Structure 1
């Protein structure tokens, strides 16, 4: 899905999304598992951070300095209100880059909205943005393909290179898979935790 269109769709849902997930525990046990592999806190990147909330809060409590990016300007506005001491940017992960490196990167339920052709390049980029020993946690669909679905009356596009595709890309980028789980069975929702080799 075109990032500008995706951003406008999430602009419409931003308040609903915020109210539904701000204090949710959804994804928290998975992030806590990933944090167990972090040698020490440091810079963290939240890709598709939305309005902030539970992930940013946990990372800050653990001593991480958080940067969040999202294509929705309204989501970023809410995130800045919720976490004035974090750094939030309206950016598209497909085109955004930085010289900074991160101890932890999370992309929870975000990059699965990318066009199928951008899945591999973006995962490679996330791997490159890690420090040595840095931890990556992200979610994707279990099988290769793409489809559309409706949320709150808005149509959204989803794509995935599947479990084998993601494992291949991570291995080629020097990332060791530490945990992979279909965590919302029978939904085909996968999360993976990888660590960049020293």
Structure 2
């Protein structure tokens, strides 16, 4: 097996490694403005009307905790789970009222105590159907009866234009930080290899960090089948906007 193949297998079977660039994730990704303007208005339509006041919500792949912080402000009890201790260290600062669990979303076991589970821009890192089913099964187990599961996930059907253009690179810059994400598409697997480079200005010296991630574009039929496989019902999905590359799924236990 080649070194490249070994790296691919390692990336495919492990959560993305954020430890060296957690500070940059906290600085640039899913910040308060994005949550307030881009996520909360959608939740006001598809989540809040269907859960009780003070409901207990699990944030799957909570990252730096900005979503959980905003949902707490809406009056909900929040628990977040993430595989990165470095990201959780920021989450505990950004949302000190919430509870956080260190764990891989493909392997966690929680009792059926949650009224809802939400996950934004996380399941794109699940790169095979078996792991996707495992995540859905864990969520199903953690939900109370009639609990609601809402998540976003990139779909092949929505990504065709981006794949044809072959361009999805991201650059984030301010006076003290820079984050560069270069995407390389592998058409047979429908996977993007993401080469991540970050820079932090520390004591007037720029410090560089590097990471490599894998992102999967899923088929609509595979997502639907995986949800049905573990018992979810009344499954529907919406595209948040004309330019969206991800669908938002809504389903019930």
TM-score, structure 2 as length reference: 0.67
Is 2:79–2:99's contact at 8 Å kept on the other side of the alignment?
yes
- Asked if 1:12 is matched to 2:20, the reply is yes
- Asked if 1:192 is matched to 2:192, the reply is no
Q: How does 1:78-89 map to 2 (within 5 A)?
A: 78-89=90-101
Supply the distance in 1 between the matched residues of 2:112 and 2:144 (Cα, whole angstroms).
9
SS at 1:95 equivalent? coil
Supply the distance in 2 between the matched residues of 1:40 and 1:165 (Cα, whole angstroms).
34
Kindly provide the CA deviation profile for residues 38-64 of structure 1, in whole angstroms up to 9, marking residues without a partner as x: 2443221111100101x2123212322
Aligned to 1:68: 80
- Deviation at 1:123? 1.4
Supply the distance in 1 between the matched residues of 2:106 and 2:53 (Cα, whole angstroms).
28
2:194 aligned residue (113, 130, 150): 150
Is 2:146–2:252's contact at 8 Å kept on the other side of the alignment?
yes
* Structure 1: unaligned runs, 5 residues or longer: none
Is 1:38–1:133's contact at 8 Å kept on the other side of the alignment?
no
Aligned to 1:3: 14
Is 1:107–1:137's contact at 8 Å kept on the other side of the alignment?
yes
Is 1:141–1:189's contact at 8 Å kept on the other side of the alignment?
yes
Supply the distance in 1 between the matched residues of 2:90 and 2:100 (Cα, whole angstroms).
10
* Structure 2: unaligned runs, 5 residues or longer: 1-11, 158-188, 198-210
- Deviation at 1:133? 2.2
Supply the distance in 1 between the matched residues of 2:99 and 2:20 (Cα, whole angstroms).
23
Kindly provide the CA deviation profile for residues 141-161 of structure 1, in whole angstroms up to 9, marking residues without a partner as x: 213954123264333212354
2:110 aligned residue (91, 94, 98): 98
Deviates further, 76-85 or 185-194: 185-194
- Deviation at 1:187? 4.5
Aligned to 2:165: none
Bigger radius of gyration among the two: 2
Is 1:127–1:170's contact at 8 Å kept on the other side of the alignment?
no
- Asked if 1:163 is matched to 2:220, the reply is yes
- Asked if 1:43 is matched to 2:56, the reply is yes
Supply the distance in 1 between the matched residues of 2:78 and 2:214 (Cα, whole angstroms).
27
Aligned to 1:127: 140
Q: CA RMSD in A?
A: 2.3
Is 1:140–1:191's contact at 8 Å kept on the other side of the alignment?
yes
Is 1:113–1:157's contact at 8 Å kept on the other side of the alignment?
yes
SS at 1:84 equivalent? coil
Is 2:108–2:138's contact at 8 Å kept on the other side of the alignment?
no
Supply the distance in 2 between the matched residues of 1:80 and 1:12 (Cα, whole angstroms).
18
Change (3 A) 1:68 1:101: same
